[in-house]
Structure 1
Amino acid sequence: MQQQTALFLPSKNGEYSLGTRPIPQPSQGELLVKVKAAALNPEDWKIQKYGWPFEEYPTVAGIDISGEVVALGPGITRFTVGDQVFGQGMYSPDYAGFQEYSVMKEDFTAKVPQSLSYEEASTFPVALSAAYLLFFNEAPHGMGLKPLDSSRRKKHYEGEPILVIGHGGSSSVGQYVIQLAKAAGFSPIITTASQRHTEKLKALGATHIIERTIPLTSIRSHLAEILNTSTAATGGLFGYIYDAISEKETQLAAYDLLRPSGKLAIVLPSIIETKSEDRHIVWTMGAPNIPHNTAGAKELFSLVTSMIENGVLMPTEIEILPGGLGGIVDGLKILEAGKVSGKKLVVRPEEQ
């Protein structure tokens, strides 16, 4: 069986190292892709440190993938050999991106628009899925927003303010939340981020940027001023809040800012112990193969190419790491140290 190079996690809490494994073969509804670019995510260092979600080792990580289709499994209808594609991998070695070849599910794969490079395309899948599913899944796994109007003429949430909190405006997820919020018509779109990202975030659709270093306990007065409301001391200000970081401090601050019947989307499990019946918290993992995510993820990957071509979505800024798969180890250390902001680290697995 033909072999390929892969970056292995040999054991729970082990050290990533290069090795070889067989090139997998696609089954029903699957593609075999030569991986041209793979983006790094914070989950990739957390997998090594905390040992979740893998139960069997050695394993391969990496779930932001773009590349060239080299083989088709039975039943493929949307792609042919030679197509340039991008999509979301899964936490299973054959479907991972930190290797030279990966199997991809047709339902969670899209064609790379001509305007994008492989590297730019690899920034979309995981972060965009997290943003999209928490907006459009039904509760309790999403806000249950009305579907986007493909003609871009109808804005279902025009005039409705939204807050992207937790310095999430400069995170990859936060950037896609802002773009989807703009497409849905939300206004104003307020986010917390470093002021150095102001120009970029406003280009994506944010109308107001609040400096992320301002204590969350002090943010209410700034928000009330933007919204031109007297509700400064107590009471809710927003019907929709997306916490793209979801640490304890940001969850508590966001929940306090919800008005009755408001919805807070979080990307980690809720730590809020005292909840009121008229304020709602929604959460899901961005994995497309979770049953309650499958329909939404399939819809997303059927739309994403046209959304990029029509200017609804723009890629995250990238930094290409040298050394191919071997460059991932240092890249994950940089991510863990919190030294990456407003961009995605990307590798080219075929470089050695």
Structure 2
Amino acid sequence: MASSNELPVQTLSVTVHPTSPITTTISTVPLPECLAPGDVLIKVEAAASNPKDWLHLVATGTSLNSGDDLAGIVVAVGEGVTRFKPDDRVAAFHPMGKPYGAYAEYAIALEHTALHIPDSMSFEEASTIPLVSLTAGLTLFRRQGYLAPWQPGAQEKNQRKSLLVYAATTSLGTYAIKLAKLAGIGPIVAIGGGSSDYVKGFLETPQDAFLDYRTGLETLRENVKRLTEERHLHLRNGLDAVNEHESWVQVSQMLHGGGRLSVFSGARKYDEQAIPKDVDIVYTFVGTAHEAKYRPSMPKQPSVEDVQGDPAFAGEFFVWLEDMLRQGKYSGHPFEVISGGLNGVSEGLNRLRNGQAGGRKFVYQIGSKGRE
């Protein structure tokens, strides 16, 4: 195991409880004396929250350190790790539900779901990138069938393959649009509400379009129909980044025959009668990047054979994403720092639960800034 001179023997770690409102406790947890092959031990400088950090716990009645998005400094690496060494600045996606999560002074991630971050990028911004970017990447390039941007001919083959993004102003919707643009996918029809100026900055005029869902469902359907007819678009691919109030039903009805709609909540069945019979609903479970499989209870799963390649894809994706960050072609999501370091996690998760994110990600400063 390669390591810095002084390895920590323990870490302060947050346990999130599925109460109403969400509560947390902070305790001291011993760190392993030896890392497993492929593991990267990281001193956490910043961690970011995602809706699943409270949703999954409430759904299952489980208490654990549910943080999985982090950025910090490598302290030690396990056997076989070649891309990282102690003192590297990194961002990483921690395996969901496993020990040593992101809401802690030290966390453990796997080499293939970590990436170097530029010296010019803050840890706070970097912590917003890994999990949601990978969710969007798996969706576009594994579940939806677009060519990944590092594959030969991707730009040419993805052209004129339109994409509908519902809830485009969420972090997932915005990252999907960023990745789609880098892969040459388009035209893009983005549907959103508030906080739209940021995502509009990634759309191109006149080929892409932004539609406001606050005009009402009927008007929105008419606008999508008019837009596709005027531009002769065959809108077969879409993603619903919010999965609330049967939004997936509405979005499925905006797609053309033989379409495919990506969804992200494992708590739904997606079997409503109003979903067109020729629209295929596929659930993205980002945990396949670590587990290479879905869990039996999960809805609308892709083929077992397809999912087995997700860890290898994740490794390629993070190497490519690292290069995009270095070149300044990719960036994090707008964020708000929640004060209090680890003590602020409960506030951030309750604000997420109450729908108060407003197009931002909530971030916690856990390193030296969090102790100031």
Which TM bucket (shorter chain)?
A: 0.7 to 0.9
1:20 pairs with 2:17: no
Distance between the aligned counterparts of 1:30 and 1:301, measured in 2?
16
Mapped contact 1:134–1:282 kept (Cα < 8 A): no
Q: Residue 217 of structure 2 aligns with which residue?
A: 216
- How far did 1:136 drift? 1.2
Q: Which of 224, 241, 259 is the aligned partner of 1:244?
A: 241
Of 156-165 and 106-115, more deviation after overlay is shown by 156-165
Distance between the aligned counterparts of 2:97 and 2:276, measured in 1?
39
- RMSD in angstroms over aligned alpha carbons? 2.5
Of 202-211 and 296-305, more deviation after overlay is shown by 202-211
What amino acid is aligned across from residue 110 of structure 1 in structure 2? L
Distance between the aligned counterparts of 1:160 and 1:260, measured in 2?
14
The equivalences for 1:271-282 within 5 A come to 271-274=270-273, 278-282=278-282
Q: Which of 333, 338, 345 is the aligned partner of 1:316?
A: 333
Q: Which of 241, 247, 255 is the aligned partner of 1:258?
A: 255
Number of equivalent positions: 337
Identify unmatched segments of 5+ residues in structure 1.
none
Distance between the aligned counterparts of 1:11 and 1:336, measured in 2?
11
What amino acid is aligned across from residue 114 of structure 2 in structure 1? T
Mapped contact 1:149–1:155 kept (Cα < 8 A): no
Q: Residue 203 of structure 1 aligns with which residue?
A: 201
Distance between the aligned counterparts of 1:65 and 1:75, measured in 2?
22
Identify unmatched segments of 5+ residues in structure 2.
1-7, 293-306
Of 313-322 and 89-98, more deviation after overlay is shown by 89-98
- How far did 1:170 drift? 1.0
- How far did 1:189 drift? 1.4
The equivalences for 1:92-241 within 5 A come to 92-137=97-142, 142-149=143-150, 154-165=155-166, 168-198=167-197, 200-205=198-203, 207-229=208-230, 238-241=235-238
Mapped contact 1:240–1:263 kept (Cα < 8 A): yes
Instruction: Describe the SS at the equivalent of 1:210.
Output: strand
Distance between the aligned counterparts of 2:195 and 2:258, measured in 1?
34
Normalised by the length of structure 2, the TM-score is 0.83
Distance between the aligned counterparts of 1:176 and 1:86, measured in 2?
16
Distance between the aligned counterparts of 1:117 and 1:109, measured in 2?
16
Of 219-228 and 4-13, more deviation after overlay is shown by 4-13
Q: Which of 301, 304, 310 is the aligned partner of 2:321?
A: 304
Deviations 1:255-279 (A, max 9, x none): 1122122221111244134466643
- How far did 1:111 drift? 0.5
Of 25-34 and 205-214, more deviation after overlay is shown by 205-214
Structure 1 residues 319, 26: closer, same or farther in 2, change over 3 A? same
- How far did 1:91 drift? 2.6
Structure 1 residues 143, 209: closer, same or farther in 2, change over 3 A? same
Percent identity of paired positions between Structure 1 and Structure 2: 27
Distance between the aligned counterparts of 2:85 and 2:150, measured in 1?
29
Structure 1 residues 193, 26: closer, same or farther in 2, change over 3 A? same
